[in-house]
Amino acid sequence: MSGSDTAIRLLFLAAASCFVLGLHLMNSPATARRGNQLSAAGMVAAVGTAVGLLARDGVITATGLIVLIAGVLLGSGAGLYAARTVRMTAMPQLVSVFNAVGGGAAALVAFAEVARLGGAAGLAGASGQTTVTVGLDVVIGAVTFSGSLVAAGKLQGLISGAPVLFRGARLLNAALAAVAVTGVAAIVAGHGGTIALSIVAAAALGLGVTMVLPIGGADMPVVISLLNAFTGTAVAMAGFVLDSTVLVIAGALVGASGSILTVLMAEAMNRSIPAIIVGGFGTADSTG
Amino acid sequence: MTETLVTDLTVLVLSLLVGFEVISKVPSTLHTPLMSGANAIHGIVVVGAMLVAATAHTPLGYVLVFFAAAFAAMNVVGGYVVTDRMLEMFHRRPAAERSR
């Protein structure tokens, strides 16, 4: 391991430590704000280290660099504007939107890796580690993307807060899940590339919608927390795809802590998670 | 199993255990800020977007990198700023009550 390699890995480790300590400080009201700031400092360190990594390797094309900077500036600007201007009461749905784009980004990262490997034929020669984690990343990321947007829509009142039930919903759910599982299996078996992956993503996007629609608006905070844990898991999978330890650590951290938080939130509302997921009757939004 | 896979799995399992332990008895008023803070942390996927940008070389690759970078940056920047706003509000309230 060269000197710069060691430095990069140690800096990523420091960033990951900031996330763990920051999350821990957020358990108590007195230290919560400091915890979030520590976690943000870790994020700045991680992004700075990644910039250093790109500069050292120097393999990024000019177009790639321009596209990356344009994307980051646009996304940062939109995120900053939305976070600054949102009313306090509308914050939960904004968090859900941020969660949606996070899940979407995790899925897109897997797509980009597959495109790099050569698209249609690319996954045939890829290792089991790559194919399995690409499949999981895209499925979980896409479900979170559409599911979080529906959850945000329900809280914002764009979609009825009442459970939306229609005939054949369960059948549709099962069919979409079957398509996603079959697609992932085909990819793992080495028969699919970007096209199979697109079909999997489309089915998972549909599944996210049909999973969240039947849940009442009053249960949305718990659902958003659950989807937040999903995104963490998708990011950990992206870490496997790219062989990036910092992504695995941060993703798994959010996946696990998000699950615990989901249970705590459900308990605080006197609801059980299976009852929320099954959804439907008697869970209508209290505000109508 | 390759050595990197075993190492990655080790890191995954230990990080999951840390994640389960790091959340303890959180007062319910902190549930939403904590969710939002965790949401910002998975914005680390912006590093993933940077890593795939380094190797992209096709038009499709560039399009995917652009959207991945924009989405991830929105997640990370917006996530931290909105969490800070929530906690700032949280911090002021006890002070206001004391002055009364």
pLDDT given for residue B94 in this prediction:
53
Under 8 Å CB pairs connecting chains A and B tally to 366
Which chain B residue is nearest to residue A231, measuring alpha carbons? B42
Helices (H) and strands (E) in chain B, counts: 4, 0
pLDDT given for residue A231 in this prediction:
96
pLDDT given for residue A282 in this prediction:
42
pLDDT given for residue A280 in this prediction:
52
Residues 225-284 of A with CB under 8 A from B: 225, 228, 231-232, 235-236, 238-240, 242-261, 264-265, 268
Q: Point out the residues of chain A with pLDDT beneath 50.
A: 281-288
pLDDT in tens, B48-99: 999 999 999 899 999 999 999 999 999 999 999 999 999 988 766 554 444 4
d(CA A256, CA A198): 28
Question: Which positions in chain A touch B67 (Cβ < 8 Å)?
Answer: 71, 104-105, 108
Question: Which positions in chain A touch B35 (Cβ < 8 Å)?
Answer: 95, 221, 224-225, 228, 258, 261, 265
In whole angstroms, how large is the CA radius of gyration of chain B? Answer: 19
Residues B67, B69, B71, CA angle at the centre, nearest 5°? 65
Q: Which of B45, B58, B86 has its CB closest to that of A235?
A: B45
Alpha helices (H) along chain A: 3-25, 32-57, 62-85, 91-117, 128-156, 169-188, 194-212, 220-242, 245-268, 273-278
d(CA B32, CA B11): 28
Contact between A128 and A87 under an 8 Å Cβ cutoff? The reply is: no
Q: Which letter, b or e, does each residue of A174-192 get, where b requires 16 or more Cβ atoms within 10 Å of its Cβ? A: eebbebbeebbebbbeeeb
Q: Kindly report the length of chain B.
A: 100
Query: What SS3 state is found at A216?
Result: coil
Query: Per the structure block, which two tokens stand in for A45?
Result: 């360190």
The answer to whether A56 contacts chain B (CB < 8 Å) is no
Q: Is A156 exposed, middle or buried (0-12, 13-18, 19+ CB in 10 A)?
A: middle
What is the number of other CB atoms lying within 10 angstroms of the CB of residue A114? 28
Query: Per the structure block, which two tokens stand in for B10?
Result: 């080790």
Query: Per the structure block, which two tokens stand in for A74?
Result: 């646009």
DSSP letter at A27? T
d(CA A212, CA A209): 6
Asked if B70 and A61 come within 8 Å (Cβ–Cβ), the reply is no
pLDDT given for residue B99 in this prediction:
46
Which chain A residue is nearest to residue B26, measuring alpha carbons? A27
What is the number of other CB atoms lying within 10 angstroms of the CB of residue A89? 8
DSSP letter at A270? T
Asked if A265 and B75 come within 8 Å (Cβ–Cβ), the reply is no
Q: What are phi and psi of A105, to 5 degrees?
A: -60, -40
pLDDT given for residue A269 in this prediction:
87
Contact between B30 and A25 under an 8 Å Cβ cutoff? The reply is: no
Q: Is B90 exposed, middle or buried (0-12, 13-18, 19+ CB in 10 A)?
A: middle
Asked if B77 and A46 come within 8 Å (Cβ–Cβ), the reply is no
d(CA B21, CA B42): 18
Tell me the pTM.
0.91
Collect all residues with Cβ–Cβ distance below 8 Å to A127 and sequence separation of at least 6.
B2
- The amino acid that residue A278 corresponds to is V
d(CA B14, CA A280): 37
d(CA A178, CA A198): 15
d(CA B35, CA B55): 33
Contact between B16 and A15 under an 8 Å Cβ cutoff? The reply is: no
pLDDT of B29 higher than 50: yes
